[in-house]
Structure 1
Amino acid sequence: MDKILKVNDLSVSFDTYGGEVKAVRGVTFELKEKETLAIVGESGSGKSVTAQSLMRLVPMPPGKFTGGSIEFNGENIVEKSEKQMESIRGKDISMIFQDPMTSLNPTMTVGKQIAEGLIKHQNMSKKEAYHRGVELLKLVGIPNPEARIKQYPHQFSGGMRQRAMIAIALACNPKVLIADEPTTALDVTIQAQILDLMRELQDKTGTAIILITHDLGVVANAAHRVAVMYGGKIVETGTVDEIFYNPKHPYTWGLLGSMPKLDGGSEELQAIPGSPPDLADPPKGCPFATRCPYAMKVCEDHMPQYTEVSASQKNACWLLDQRAPKVDIPDTAIVGGTKVHG
């Protein structure tokens, strides 16, 4: 598969009263056509800022790009003007936001919000755009779309609002769809329906997806590859099977240990002790060193380089250095049950 998006050494900061907050620090990853890449990590790890940067939605100021590039179709998005970005947003790269109730305009009908992008980017007439809107609502599983398209967001349930957001995001057949915590505010039954819908739509449209989430349970059945993010950095990448069955970074072990197990084992969840680093004064070494039970002196003083575990798995941890002591994956990080999608 061809690479459709390439992020190289991306850094994003925010000027605040407390100083410069380095929210994203040297992030690098690639996205292939028809692929779903999940970016996972705790709140404050830099996931959403990375996602918003791909569409240049980070408010500037106070935000600013301090390094790196975002290549889409061979062109660097970081260097584009706001006017040039207007022709990309919604057309080539689209986004499903975390809370559809605050993302949808309460004063406009759902149909008008779908039609906006179609009229702007596809040069459709209002009648054509509304006809396409009905098709999109039907595609995302909203019943009676002819009537629903005339309604306002407050007349939709939470799950239906999220489906409407997906319809808006897919209206112009984008090449890349960014889903920022798309199931956070939904109950587990609706979560499953939304994730199933995204997979079905990807099969039909071929859209590449970046899934931002803190929930590894969502990742298991929704993604092909995973990037684990912590302290503004990506600390491990790999296929879903590699991350779930052969994780190499202690932070990934901690995330897996905090997942509920369905294999009849201990019901006690394993919390990661401590707090994420202050990115106004980021550590000079591994960002996870102060919370890592296996940390060595070198972890605090020097940032680890990426080690290639396999052709598809990379890890930034000093434990993979040949001079480091051997550490086994803790039992709490071993995933039981059915083999996950990968």
Structure 2
Amino acid sequence: MANRILDVKNLKIDFHTYAGEVKAIRDVSFHLDEGETLAIVGESGSGKSVTTRSIIGLLAKNSQIMGGQILFHGKDLLKISEKEWQQIRGNQIAMIFQDPMTSLDPTMKIGQQIAEPLIKHKGASKKEAWAKALEMMKAVGISNAEERINQYPHQFSGGMRQRIVIAIALICEPEILLADEPTTALDVTVQAEILDLMKDLQKRVKTSIIFITHDLGVVAGMADRVNVMYAGEFLEKGTVDEIFYNPQHPYTWGLINSMPTLTSEKLESIPGTPPDLLDPPKGDPFAPRNKYAMKIDAQMKPPFFKVSETHQAATWLLHPDAPKVTPPDEIVRRWEHYKELQAADED
């Protein structure tokens, strides 16, 4: 049985605004096992980044945790002091942010920024820390590391800066790495290189990753499990194969339909906009945008229905009494392709 290192239970987070209380995270639960990659996917504003920032204690000042637990090796991170956070943050739990330029200090040499966590958390001498920083720069694929260790962030390209941010995050060999849209600002070629680098370093450092993205295409080659997030809550959870080949929630269908493929002639968009979380809907939050929605979707929030031991979705379409609907053609095609692959493996 996998060793569970993180367990988030019934997390609720509000934001205080001039307009009122925004229910940003609404009763979210999930877990992370040792050595695995969990992807959290969804549109912008769905609550992905807020969820991960709560795990590392970096929520905005106008936020308030209204309930729940974040258990790291059984210890509730919501109850620890800032001094305890300083021992954990960057050491046992580290984070890669979306924009590397705003994550780096423009006045400090790169070597100093990579070495600093070792000096602070591990008590390494400056000489030891710089030697390790040089080693890590080479590990993340920065050429001429001996020369470039004394350069500043503005002297690196966007892809190289992201490699530096990854080096800083992994220098202390954290148990959990939170990656918040780490490749969004990069072109496709550099994006693929960074993802390969993260997977390679994950094996070496044996860290667990929570990968935040709106791009399901990135998730396919990166994640072990996927949680689909919308309007501050999860609508579907499963292994990467289950979410890609046998999705059950209409929102997941919409996300997959909006992915470009080699055969797609046009991109399908999801009509409508997410709900106003100042006044969250009482039923399925996706109902107003869901052409398969039933009357009950607007009246009552659906529970999670079990699809398999590892797959569950919160949609009334899975209720035994619900009418049978045919998913979009792309979803049906993926499921048929998956069954063909499974049959070929059995042969």
Q: Give the shorter-chain TM-score range.
A: over 0.9
Q: Does 1:29 align with 2:30?
A: yes
Asked if 2 retains the 8 angstrom alpha-carbon contact of 1:228 and 1:234, the reply is yes
Q: Which amino acid aligns with 1:51?
A: T
Asked if 2 retains the 8 angstrom alpha-carbon contact of 1:256 and 1:335, the reply is no
Q: Which amino acid aligns with 1:324?
A: A
Q: How do 1:112-261 residues align onto structure 2 when only pairs under 5 Å count?
A: 112-261=112-261
Asked if 2 retains the 8 angstrom alpha-carbon contact of 1:257 and 1:271, the reply is yes
Aligned residue in 1 for 2:345:
none
Quick one: distance in 2 between partners of 1:153 and 1:54? Answer: 27
Relative distance call for 1:335 and 1:94 in structure 2 (3 A) is: farther
Quick one: distance in 2 between partners of 1:167 and 1:174? Answer: 11
Asked if 2 retains the 8 angstrom alpha-carbon contact of 1:254 and 1:333, the reply is no
Aligned residue in 2 for 1:99:
99
Offset at 1:301?
Answer: 1.1
Offset at 1:83?
Answer: 1.1
Relative distance call for 1:335 and 1:15 in structure 2 (3 A) is: farther
Offset at 1:335?
Answer: 5.9
Asked if 2 retains the 8 angstrom alpha-carbon contact of 1:309 and 1:315, the reply is yes
Offset at 1:328?
Answer: 2.1
Q: Does 1:58 align with 2:59?
A: yes
Residue 226 of structure 2 aligns to a residue in which SS?
strand
Residue 221 of structure 2 aligns to a residue in which SS?
helix
Q: Which amino acid aligns with 1:248?
A: Q
Quick one: distance in 1 between partners of 2:39 and 2:212? Answer: 6
Asked if 1 retains the 8 angstrom alpha-carbon contact of 2:235 and 2:314, the reply is yes
Residue 88 of structure 2 aligns to a residue in which SS?
coil
Aligned residue in 2 for 1:45:
46
Asked if 2 retains the 8 angstrom alpha-carbon contact of 1:56 and 1:85, the reply is yes
Offset at 1:21?
Answer: 0.6
Quick one: distance in 2 between partners of 1:308 and 1:223? Answer: 21
Offset at 1:333?
Answer: 3.1
Aligned residue in 2 for 1:87:
87
Quick one: distance in 2 between partners of 1:5 and 1:328? Answer: 37
Aligned length: 337
Asked if 2 retains the 8 angstrom alpha-carbon contact of 1:176 and 1:210, the reply is yes
Quick one: distance in 2 between partners of 1:334 and 1:190? Answer: 32
Asked if 1 retains the 8 angstrom alpha-carbon contact of 2:138 and 2:145, the reply is yes
Quick one: distance in 1 between partners of 2:135 and 2:332? Answer: 44
TM-score for the superposition, normalised by structure 1: 0.96
Quick one: distance in 2 between partners of 1:93 and 1:276? Answer: 31
Residue 227 of structure 2 aligns to a residue in which SS?
strand
Asked if 1 retains the 8 angstrom alpha-carbon contact of 2:246 and 2:331, the reply is no
Aligned residue in 2 for 1:290:
288
Aligned residue in 1 for 2:318:
320
Quick one: distance in 2 between partners of 1:159 and 1:271? Answer: 29
Residue by residue over 1:1-41, the C-alpha shift from the partner in whole angstroms, topping out at 9 and shown as x without a partner, is 20111111111111000101111111111100110000000
Relative distance call for 1:239 and 1:132 in structure 2 (3 A) is: same
Quick one: distance in 1 between partners of 2:95 and 2:203? Answer: 18
Quick one: distance in 1 between partners of 2:17 and 2:88? Answer: 29
The runs of 5 or more residues in structure 2 that have no matched partner are 342-347
Quick one: distance in 1 between partners of 2:206 and 2:332? Answer: 33
Asked if 2 retains the 8 angstrom alpha-carbon contact of 1:256 and 1:334, the reply is no
Residue by residue over 1:277-305, the C-alpha shift from the partner in whole angstroms, topping out at 9 and shown as x without a partner, is 11111111111011000111111111111
Offset at 1:59?
Answer: 2.1
Q: State, as a whole percentage, how many aligned pairs show the same letter.
A: 60
Asked if 1 retains the 8 angstrom alpha-carbon contact of 2:98 and 2:182, the reply is yes
Quick one: distance in 1 between partners of 2:333 and 2:184? Answer: 23
Residue by residue over 1:33-81, the C-alpha shift from the partner in whole angstroms, topping out at 9 and shown as x without a partner, is 1100000000000000001010010023x10100111000110001111
Q: Which amino acid aligns with 1:277?
A: P
Quick one: distance in 1 between partners of 2:275 and 2:333? Answer: 27
Quick one: distance in 1 between partners of 2:332 and 2:55? Answer: 33
Runs of 4+ in 1 over 2 A off after TM superposition: 332-339
Q: Does 1:69 align with 2:77?
A: no
Asked if 2 retains the 8 angstrom alpha-carbon contact of 1:304 and 1:316, the reply is yes
What is the Cα-based RMSD across aligned positions, in Å?
1.3
Aligned residue in 2 for 1:11:
12
Greater shift, 224-233 or 296-305, is seen at 296-305
Quick one: distance in 2 between partners of 1:193 and 1:325? Answer: 45
Aligned residue in 2 for 1:270:
268
Q: Which amino acid aligns with 1:302?
A: M
TM-score for the superposition, normalised by structure 2: 0.95
Relative distance call for 1:327 and 1:164 in structure 2 (3 A) is: same
Greater shift, 198-207 or 228-237, is seen at 198-207
Aligned residue in 1 for 2:331:
333
